[in-house]
Structure 1
């Protein structure tokens, strides 16, 4: 089907806006590709240093006639999503060796879990860890001895940071290898109910712990559709995974075979062969538009509103909040995955998953079919499903019909006509709201404000019974310059309880919510932030605020608002302890949330 005119217009606008940046970027990576890896040009001493630990691969490395893959890994065994990566390097090296090539672990990158640090001081390092990951990957690849890179990462900041690095080293190919989701445990909605009961004191900590352990029970990504699984979806929509690789569970023969096949594909697309596919040529304007479409069609994480502009800027592409809102307006919501439904990603995958969705969106003219991908074909290749044939992977056409229309529907019969992400503008600044899981009668709220400077104060007010009528909770000084922009997901159970009691409730913040934020309307990423003296710093208790997610407006209706001085806050407690002192340079140099809250691009 012909590309929808509206999508073509959005793409043309992005291309025009990005012209100078993209032209300079392509000139840079094309020049680097012409020089090629410097492995063969290193001094004998330099080569000896690079190959000394390579064991049986030393000879092949020294001759320099076969590809050498650089592995960038986010492995650690404290995080379930990254624990499976412990075995990947040996497998990759064995497969490369079988093809007469080599592979080396070029470097490790940090991988922190927002679930572990949620509501803790460590969360204030979380967003900036994305840029640290990009920097760490850059250090690993700076030895300039690799013909392609394999990126091993899954979760919230890891994949965006790795994509930023892959774009920066865009003169070499990049293949992303996922680890897959854990098998289904306690249903996510049951887990959420226990959390709400704990917030109201109806169950004790032992019951809460039992529920959490039943939900997060083994290796792999958390099964709800948060930022980690949104990342995996994006890698397929952008052509950086093998087709159908995202949601195959760890420890299965198909998972191992896909890892081996990803290694072979990386070897096939280096400059030493006839199918050279540098990462920077994949990461173009159309690829990022396809990413936006995937984000909206699946009801993905709001954290990607921060990450995609930073990822795109690394490849010379300039995205704005307007692009997100305009794509959301024309792309229907095709999936119901928790928190936007009861199913988890394993159920979504079984219902037809990304193969069905990509094929259907292509048929509807809502994806660019002609993008470059690592498989050497257009995006139609990602409408296929991987199957195991002996020890190798083959691909078959994916389902043309949903296998469970309570989870996955075609674009012609969607759950909602739009993707559910709305840009907000008004005298409070600009930001975003995700409404795919918010009931229609909750999407417009006009109520008095209660202003807080941290989420613990909100929880204390909740426990004290202070919320007895409709309220818009304003939590400010939570932006990247103030304290690194931690997620405020810890507020979700309390606010959900208030909403279930019949109150109209909303959150307004210059911070961010979890990728699993759901039924409580939350106006997030408000910029300029309070730390910059943004309008949110002038809100006072009792001011009447109006949040209209349908119209895309966020306003203070009280008289005299614009003439007030901006409030200040004592942020000294955010600057010390658990490594926060080391991140002062990030807080001092970070950009606006609406531009991706980046420090290095």
Structure 2
């Protein structure tokens, strides 16, 4: 195993020891060798199965059969979640065949950042993750269940589901994906049309046609943003069945994998001999494996927030320094849009997760000896890929060679020797940058700052022709406390236009960028945020800013005697407090933690342990 990987993992374990031990102690105290519903009174239990059929009622009254919770993000407006409409009946039938019962425990909200980009609703997006976690907790709180199946795909849904699952860490939990939509308009063509529209060279009709051809059917969007990074994470962290992440919806193989996940959920409860609580699957090694997977694939920057929050719910404390150190040793092995021209279907066809995991294992860059929902064999089992053999599901060895080396490559011939996400530090604070899609010649930008306080201000300046020069766009008061930390992807086409014209441009913000952060260097998640008087709030128009992604620095070139005397700027944020439900989330804005702490309102294991002490 790589020495640095072992060193980082050990450091995380030492840092987390007190809170992790407290978490595991609570987990084991909540475990039960009998059905969890056995603690319920007759009245409690009767309420819990009143709507069931006679056979399920009989089984749930007994003390032998497992009851599997289904928690789903289904809705039929969003393409990624619509396929889940069919899953509960498939699951119930498969669990019944395995000698158990499955009940639909609850649904969770699922919003789409693609719909809300640049809209007021985007200011609820990050907070929806914690809302999903709380909704999942309500669904599981009835204590009727012996294991759980979490049906979720997109940006905040999977992190929220896992955060809640870890708070019920004694329950075995399997994540069940829906899969990506089939390939539509190539992503580079979609991006080209977006830039043409930003330049005013094509109209809304052409833009609408391109978008509709790109997002055209059921399933996850096919670019490698947060949603598909979620799927990679759940597989490399051992919570998916091997090879199940990127199988398209409404296929026989997808349905067979869903049935297999349901059956497996009945096998790993405390009633059997292979009890696999989710809180023991997700340990320090699994979290490090997740970070490695993120780096090796050039995954979403959103996970520098989400992984922190998820890990803390298991009593594990990780920092951006851990991401940075692992990024230096993990090679970039995948080129998926926006880090390349391929989509996730092409990645899957080229060898997919089985090839990727195999390469990382052989290079000593993953912990193989982890627990997974599959059972014995650890992560080695994830070298395999599923197939149907005369209608029966089985697994075979994954590809030993990439079927397209422009998309997926070997660890000894990487696209880059280090991962796609880096930490930036300097007198403007701490931030992260995704460089896997940024060409080397664009990774250093030193230019005057232009201060903006909204995306619209920037777009107005662009349309007016005021930005045809070298500059660093500073979009501030976009942090979690200020307005919920919206994604700022609406800026990407215009910044891309200016970069293509030969100008040196970059973005610096305490907000988020899309999980599909692209070719323009963007220092994001700057912390402390401006509302907390972070140093970015001292910056003024015309100050020279130096963003150096290679050296990992972000600085304002202002003399210290001037910088230290400046007051933090203030901003009227009242316009972000009402409308589109934002008033209901005031308590979230008031209590949310910083980006590096996971931007969460939930009192996690670390906070609870500190309070108890």
TM-score normalized with structure 2 length: 0.97
Q: CA deviation at 1:315?
A: 0.1
2:400 aligned partner = 400
Aligned pair in 2 of structure 1 residues 36, 429: CA closer, same or farther (>3 Å)? Answer: farther
1:575 aligned partner = 577
Q: CA deviation at 1:35?
A: 7.2
Say whether the 8 Å CA contact 2:33–2:271 is kept in structure 1: no
Q: Which runs of 4+ in 1 moved over 3 A?
A: 34-38
1:232 aligned partner = 231
Q: Deviations over 1:26-53 (max 9, x none)?
A: 0000000147654123222211111011
User: For structure 2, which runs of at least 5 residues remain unmatched after alignment?
Assistant: 605-613
1:461 aligned partner = 461
Say whether the 8 Å CA contact 1:130–1:160 is kept in structure 2: yes
Partner Cα separation in structure 1 for residue 121 and residue 140 of structure 2: 28
1:506 aligned partner = 506
Q: Deviations over 1:480-501 (max 9, x none)?
A: 0000000000000000000000
1:41 aligned partner = 39
Partner Cα separation in structure 1 for residue 139 and residue 344 of structure 2: 32
Say whether the 8 Å CA contact 1:237–1:290 is kept in structure 2: yes
Aligned pair in 2 of structure 1 residues 551, 36: CA closer, same or farther (>3 Å)? Answer: farther
Q: CA deviation at 1:64?
A: 3.5
Say whether the 8 Å CA contact 1:538–1:562 is kept in structure 2: no
Partner Cα separation in structure 2 for residue 420 and residue 254 of structure 1: 32
Partner Cα separation in structure 1 for residue 101 and residue 483 of structure 2: 43
Partner Cα separation in structure 1 for residue 146 and residue 590 of structure 2: 36
Q: Deviations over 1:114-162 (max 9, x none)?
A: 0000000000000010000000000000001100000000000000001
Aligned pair in 2 of structure 1 residues 278, 70: CA closer, same or farther (>3 Å)? Answer: same
Matched residue SS, 2:564: helix
Partner Cα separation in structure 1 for residue 525 and residue 411 of structure 2: 29
User: Which is further off, 40-49 or 232-241?
Assistant: 40-49
Q: CA deviation at 1:389?
A: 2.2
Say whether the 8 Å CA contact 2:447–2:472 is kept in structure 1: yes
Say whether the 8 Å CA contact 1:261–1:392 is kept in structure 2: no
Partner Cα separation in structure 2 for residue 463 and residue 119 of structure 1: 16
Aligned pair in 2 of structure 1 residues 188, 471: CA closer, same or farther (>3 Å)? Answer: same
Partner Cα separation in structure 2 for residue 64 and residue 531 of structure 1: 55
Say whether the 8 Å CA contact 2:35–2:63 is kept in structure 1: no
Partner Cα separation in structure 2 for residue 62 and residue 96 of structure 1: 17
1:556 aligned partner = 556
Partner Cα separation in structure 2 for residue 516 and residue 436 of structure 1: 11
Partner Cα separation in structure 1 for residue 475 and residue 400 of structure 2: 45
Partner Cα separation in structure 2 for residue 93 and residue 340 of structure 1: 40
Partner Cα separation in structure 1 for residue 253 and residue 291 of structure 2: 29
1:4 aligned partner = 2
Q: CA deviation at 1:598?
A: 1.0
1:297 aligned partner = 296
Say whether the 8 Å CA contact 2:129–2:157 is kept in structure 1: yes
Aligned pair in 2 of structure 1 residues 297, 52: CA closer, same or farther (>3 Å)? Answer: same
Partner Cα separation in structure 2 for residue 440 and residue 190 of structure 1: 23
Say whether the 8 Å CA contact 1:37–1:144 is kept in structure 2: no
2:599 aligned partner = 597
Q: Deviations over 1:305-330 (max 9, x none)?
A: 01000000000000000000011000
User: For structure 1, which runs of at least 5 residues remain unmatched after alignment?
Assistant: none
Matched residue SS, 1:18: helix
1:527-542 to structure 2, matched below 5 A, reads 527-542=527-542
Q: CA deviation at 1:390?
A: 3.4
Q: CA deviation at 1:447?
A: 0.2
Partner Cα separation in structure 2 for residue 471 and residue 419 of structure 1: 27
Superposition RMSD on alpha carbons, in Å?
0.9
Partner Cα separation in structure 1 for residue 550 and residue 478 of structure 2: 25
Partner Cα separation in structure 1 for residue 48 and residue 390 of structure 2: 36
1:421 aligned partner = 421
Partner Cα separation in structure 1 for residue 392 and residue 452 of structure 2: 56
1:319-330 to structure 2, matched below 5 A, reads 319-330=318-329
2:176 aligned partner = 177
Say whether the 8 Å CA contact 2:233–2:293 is kept in structure 1: yes
Number of residues paired by the alignment?
599
Matched residue SS, 1:116: helix
